[in-house]
Amino acid sequence: MDQNNTPKLYTYCIPYDDGAAPNPFWDICTLVICKPVIRRIAKKGDWVVGIGSKNSPIGNISKHVV
C-alpha cells in the first residue's frame, strides 16, 4: 500500500452526549456535528475515533462503539 492509500486516524473527544450525533443506527455512523474539518477531509477507509470524557453526565462511554 503506498502512502496515498494509507488510512488516516482522526480522533475527537465527546465531552457530553446530547443524542444529536454520532448516530450509529441504520448501518451507517454519522459523525459528530461539531467536527466539520474531519467530515470534509476524511476519506473512505479512514478511521474516526470518538473518546469519552470523565466529565460526561452520562458517565463512562468507553464501551460504546462510535
In this predicted structure, the answer to whether residue 19 has a pLDDT above a threshold of 70 is: no
Please give the grid coordinates belonging to residue 18: 446530547
Is residue 35 assigned to a domain? yes
| Percentage of residues in the chain having pLDDT higher than 70 | 50
Above 60 in pLDDT, residue 65? Answer: no
pLDDT at 24: 65
How far apart CA 62 and CA 52 sit, in angstroms, is 6
Number of domains in the chain: 1
Between 55 and 15, name the one with better pLDDT.
15
19 belongs to a structural domain = yes
CA distance 59 to 35: 22
Helix (H, G, I), strand (E, B) or coil at 50: strand
Could you give phi then psi for residue 14, rounded to 5 degrees? Answer: -100, 100
Cα Rg of the chain, angstroms: 13
Domain limits for position 34: 9-42
Q: What is the mean pLDDT of residues 14-18?
A: 70
Kindly state whether residue 24 falls inside one of the protein's structural domains: yes
